[in-house]
């Protein structure tokens, strides 16, 4: 699905993504974890073609990524919903741009609102919603486009613990039902273990470790010992690699 080769990107003088290589097969998931400022968002923007690489390449389904892909859904760090559009209008936007017929838009958006249990919010503005509700709308806005790849940038970091777990379950369910590949950027270790089939540990623009997570997708994973063991391993790995960076260890 995704193939990334020697991907490098710099904002002016500061190189923030350095020689990154990895592959993600169709229907799989990848969690990218690392301290803030390590280049996670930038990497995701490169995968979304919101930024152009300075060197290296992103290939999706065998095609070199040069412009925004129709079938990539993107959920940005703080939702990116348009405050001047109602929930319903926010969801229709992507479809309208793609020239869908009106009755189709009504059908798809109606179904998505129902699936995400946000029907009664259709006529509300984003400012009237709770964090979890906004997050559902943001997911809905990406899903109406029937993406085969979903890119998410710390989508749940502003949510309380319980809501966050609910949203993680929702993403997992969608992934399993629709065979959707996804990449999730997070700084939450539990989230990386729960949602990453592969877990990529990043630091200072580089990939320092790729971990295969054999427990991914297991029912009630959160209640199992393996869940915590893998978290422990990940934590040790990140602490070891960031030795000397006290600010991160105390977080």
Partner 1 sequence: MKQSKFSTFYALVFVFFSWVILYFWLDSNIIASPLLVAVTFSKILVPELLPNLLFSIFRILSAVIISLVLGVSIGVLTGLYTRIDKYLAPLIYLLYPIPKIAFLPVFMLLFGLGNLSKVIILIAIIIFQIIVTTRDGVRNIDSKYFASARSLGMGSKDIYFQLVLPAILPGILTALRITVGTSIAVLFFAENFAVHYGIGYYIMNSWSMVNYPKMYCGIIAVSLLGYFLFKVIDFLEIKFCSWQKVN
Ligand X SMILES: Nc1ncnc2c1ncn2[C@@H]1O[C@H](COP(=O)(O)OP(=O)(O)O)[C@@H](O)[C@H]1O
Burial per residue of 95-111, b for 16 or more beta-carbon CB atoms within 10 angstroms, e otherwise: beeeebeeeebeebbee
127 near partner 1, judged by CB under 8 A: yes
Interface residue with ligand X among 16, 49, 204, 208 (CB under 6 A) is: 16
Contact segment (CB under 8 A) with partner 1 among 79-87, 181-189, 206-214, 222-230 equals 79-87
* Residue 149 CB, nearest approach to Mg ion (Å): 19
Q: Which residue's CB is nearer to ligand X, number 53 or number 140?
A: 53
Contact segment (CB under 8 A) with partner 1 among 53-61, 82-90, 108-116, 201-209 equals 82-90
Interface residue with partner 1 among 83, 103, 223, 251 (CB under 8 A) is: 83
90 near Mg ion, judged by CB under 5 A: no
41 near Mg ion, judged by CB under 5 A: yes
Interface residue with ligand X among 24, 39, 126, 138 (CB under 6 A) is: 39
Site size with partner 1, rule: CB under 8 A: 23
Three-state SS sequence of the chain: CEEEEEEEEEECCEEEEEEEEEEECCCCEEEEECCCCCCHHHHHHHHHCCCCCCEEEEEECCEECCCCCCCEEEEECCECCCCCCCHHHHHHHHHHHCCCCHHHHHHHHHHHHHHCCCHHHCCCCHHHCCHHHHHHHHHHHHHCCCCCEEEEECCCCCCCHHHHHHHHHHHHHHHHHHCCEEEEEECCHHHHHHHCCEEEEEECCEEEEEEECCCCCCCCHHHCHHHHHHHHHHHHHHHHHCCCCHHHHCC
Q: Which residue's CB is nearer to partner 1, number 30 or number 129?
A: 129
Contact segment (CB under 6 A) with ligand X among 30-38, 131-139, 209-217, 239-247 equals 30-38
203 near Mg ion, judged by CB under 5 A: no
41 near ligand X, judged by CB under 6 A: yes
In the complex, the residues that contact partner 1 under the rule CB under 8 A are: 45, 48, 50, 68, 70, 74, 76-78, 80-85, 93-94, 97-98, 125, 127-128, 141
In the complex, the residues that contact ligand X under the rule CB under 6 A are: 11, 16, 34, 36-42
């Amino acid at each position: 699905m995704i193939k990334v080769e020697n991907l490098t990107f710099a904002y002016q003088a500061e190189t923030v993504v350095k020689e990154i290589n990895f592959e993600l097969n169709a229907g799989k998931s990848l969690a990218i974890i690392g301290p803030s400022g390590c280049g996670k968002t930038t990497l995701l923007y490169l995968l979304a073609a919101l930024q152009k690489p300075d060197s290296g390449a992103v290939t999706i389904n065998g095609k070199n990524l040069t412009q925004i892909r129709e079938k990539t859904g993107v959920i940005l760090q703080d939702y990116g919903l348009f405050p001047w559009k109602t929930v319903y209008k926010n969801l229709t936007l992507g479809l309208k741009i793609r020239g869908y017929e009106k009755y189709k838009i009504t059908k798809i958006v109606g179904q998505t609102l129902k699936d995400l249990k946000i029907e009664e919010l259709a006529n509300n503005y984003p400012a009237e919603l709770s964090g979890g509700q906004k997050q559902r709308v943001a997911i809905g806005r990406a899903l109406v486009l029937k993406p085969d790849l979903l890119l998410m940038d710390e989508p749940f970091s502003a949510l309380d613990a319980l809501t966050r777990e609910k949203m993680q379950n929702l993403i997992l369910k969608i992934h399993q039902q629709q065979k959707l590949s996804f990449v999730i950027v997070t700084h939450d270790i539990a989230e990386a273990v729960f949602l990453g089939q592969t877990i990529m540990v990043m630091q200072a623009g580089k990939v320092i470790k790729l971990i295969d997570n054999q427990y991914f997708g297991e029912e009630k994973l959160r209640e199992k010992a393996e869940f915590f063991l893998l978290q422990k391993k990940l934590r040790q790995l990140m602490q070891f690699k960031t030795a000397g960076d006290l600010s991160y260890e105390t977080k």
